[in-house]
Amino acid sequence: MTVGAGRTGRPTLAVVGATGAVGTVMLQILSQHADIWGEIRLIASPRSAGRKLALRGEQVEVVALTEEAFDGVHVAMFDVPDEVAAQWAPVAAARGAVVVDNSGAFRMDPQVPLVVPEVNPHAARVRPRGIIANPNCTTLSMIVALGALHAEFGLRELVVSSYQAVSGAGRAGVETLRQQLSMVAGTELGTSPGDVRRAVGDNTGPFPEPVALNVVPWAGSLREDGWSSEEMKVRDESRKILGLPRLPVAVTCVRVPVVTTHSLTVHARFEGEVTVHKAREILATAPGVVLFDNPEAGEFPTPADVVGTDPTWVGRVRRALDDPTALELFVCGDNLRKGAALNTAQIAELVAADFG
C-alpha cells in the first residue's frame, strides 16, 4: 500500500457510478453504516456532473470520471458497466487507490480476488493488481448460506434455479417492468398466446421478452452450447469463492416480475449424509444468514418481505427425498444490497481497516 490515511485521519473513498441502481443503494448504506470515511467523492459520467446526491445527511456534488478524480483516493468502489470498469479500474489502481469493483470485468482474473467477507475475507489481502472483485448478484444472493453449509458438510455439487429481479439489469430493468405493469394493469391480458407481447410492444428493454405477467428463462448474453452469461457467472464465481475449482454446478437463470431481491432454489449435495436438524442449526447461527422456515405457519422468505434487508434469507430446508447427502433450499437476497452494494461496502471496510 503506497498511501496512508488522508488529512482527516480517515481514508478517502470514491464511489464511481454513484447515480446508478447499485450506486444509489451504496449511498444509503454509506449513510447508515459506521462512518469510517473521510471525504467521499461521488463520480459518474459527464452526463451527471454537477448533480447533487444525498450522502451522510448532506448534498454532495457528483464529478465526472477523469484520472484526476482519483487524486488522494484510498479506496475506489466501481459500480459502473463492465467496459467502463475495465478501462478505469486500472487507472484508479495506478493512482494508488485500492479498487473494489462490482462489475464483471475482473471477477475471473486469477490476479484479482473475488471476495465475500463472510466466506473468504482472507482473499482480500492478496490483490496483486490493486483490484478486488465483488461477485455478481445472483451468486451473492446464495453464497453466504452455502459457504456456511460447505464449511461444515463439504460441498460436492450444486443445482440452482434463479428467480431474478429486474433491478439486476439496472435502472433500465426497473423502468421496463414499471412501464409494462402500467400497460397491463386492470386488463384481462395473459389469457391468449402473445396478448401480453402485443400490449407492451416491441421495446422490451433489457429483456428478450415481456417481463410483466411473465417469467423469462434468460439473463445476460449467449455463451457456448446455449448457456447464458449469467449462468456461467454463477458457476465460475461460486467455484472461485468457495475454492472448489472443479465443483459440478448446473444453473438455470430466470427473470421474474419482481423489482428487487433475487430468489433461488438450491439442490446442494455434500460429502456425506446430512440432517435437516444440523443444517438448520448452521443456518440459524451463520453470520449474515436468517433462517425463516416454518411452512406450517406459512413462513418462508419471499422477495416482497426480504427487499431492503441485508441478510441472506433461507427457508424450505429439506433433505433430498432420494439422496441423504443432499439438501433442498429456497434462498432470497436483496440483489442491490448484499447482492451488490453491501458486499462492496463490507470489502471496502475490510480494506479501510488497514489504513492506520
Does the annotation place 346 within a ligand binding site?
no
Q: Which is nearer to ligand NAP, 22 or 291 (CB)?
A: 22
> What does the per-residue mask of binding to ligand NAP show for 125-164, with x meaning CB under 6 A?
-----------xx---------------------------
Q: Does residue 176 interact with ligand NAP by CB under 6 A?
A: no
Q: Which stretch binds ligand NAP (CB under 6 A): 91-99, 120-128, 184-192, 334-342?
A: 334-342
Among 27, 44, 100, 249, binds ligand NAP (CB under 6 A): 44
The distance of closest approach from Cβ of residue 244 to ligand NAP in the complex, given in angstroms and rounded to an integer, is 22
Residues forming a β-bridge with 282: none
Q: What is the C-alpha to C-alpha distance for residues 219 and 215, in angstroms, rounded to an integer?
A: 11
Task: Check if 332 is active-site.
Answer: no
The CA distance from 116 to 140, in Å, is: 8
3-class secondary structure, 345: helix
**Does residue 263 contact residue 257 with C-beta atoms inside 8 Å?**
no
> Which residue's beta carbon is nearest to the bound ligand NAP?
20
Residue 75 pairs with which residues in a beta bridge?
13, 98
Instruction: Please count the other Cβ atoms lying within 10 Å of the Cβ belonging to residue 250.
Output: 14
Applying CB under 6 A, among 29, 31, 33, 82 the residue interacting with ligand NAP is 82
Among 27, 106, 339, 350, binds ligand NAP (CB under 6 A): 339
Is 170 an interacting residue with respect to ligand NAP (CB under 6 A)?
Answer: yes
Contact 98, 2 (CB under 8 A): no
Measured CA to CA, the distance from residue 168 to residue 24 in angstroms comes to 14
Cβ neighbours of 7 (radius 10 Å): 9
Nearer to ligand NAP, 315 or 339 (CB): 339
Computed from CA positions of residues 226, 229, 234, 238, in that sequence, does the dihedral angle turn out positive or negative? positive
79 binds ligand NAP per the rule CB under 6 A = yes
User: Which of residues 77, 216, 340, 342 is near ligand NAP by CB under 6 A?
Assistant: 340
Q: Does 22 bind ligand NAP (CB under 6 A)?
A: yes
When asked if residue 102 is in the footprint of ligand NAP (CB under 6 A), the reply is yes
Is 167 one of the annotated binding-site residues?
Answer: yes
Measured between alpha carbons, how far is residue 32 from residues 28, 125, 218 in Å?
6, 26, 34
Of 30, 76, 103, 200, which one interacts with ligand NAP (CB under 6 A)? 103
Q: Is 173 annotated as a binding residue?
A: no
- Name the one range near ligand NAP by CB under 6 A: 96-104, 151-159, 232-240, 264-272: 96-104
If we measure between CA atoms, which residue out of 294, 338, 297 comes closest to residue 314? Answer: 294
229-242 helix and 137-153 helix, angle to the nearest 10 degrees: 40
Q: Which is nearer to ligand NAP, 114 or 189 (CB)?
A: 114
137 assigned to active site? yes
Q: Is 323 helix (H, G, I), strand (E, B) or coil?
A: coil
Catalytic residue among 150, 253, 262, 332: 262
- In 66-114 the beta strands, taken as DSSP E runs, fall at 75-78, 98-101
Please report the DSSP string for 148-208 in residue order: HHHHHH-EEEEEEEEEE-GGGGHHHHHHHHHHHHHHHTTS--SSSTTHHHHHH-S--TTSS
Question: Annotated binding site for NADP(+), which residues?
Answer: 19-22, 47-48, 167-168, 335
Question: Annotated binding site for phosphate, which residues?
Answer: 107
Chain residues binding ligand NAP by CB under 6 A are: 17-23, 44-45, 47-48, 65, 79-82, 84, 102-104, 136-137, 167-168, 170-171, 335-336, 339-340
Give the residue numbers annotated as catalytic, written as ranges.
Answer: 137, 262
Question: Annotated binding site, which residues?
Answer: 19-22, 47-48, 107, 164, 167-168, 255, 335
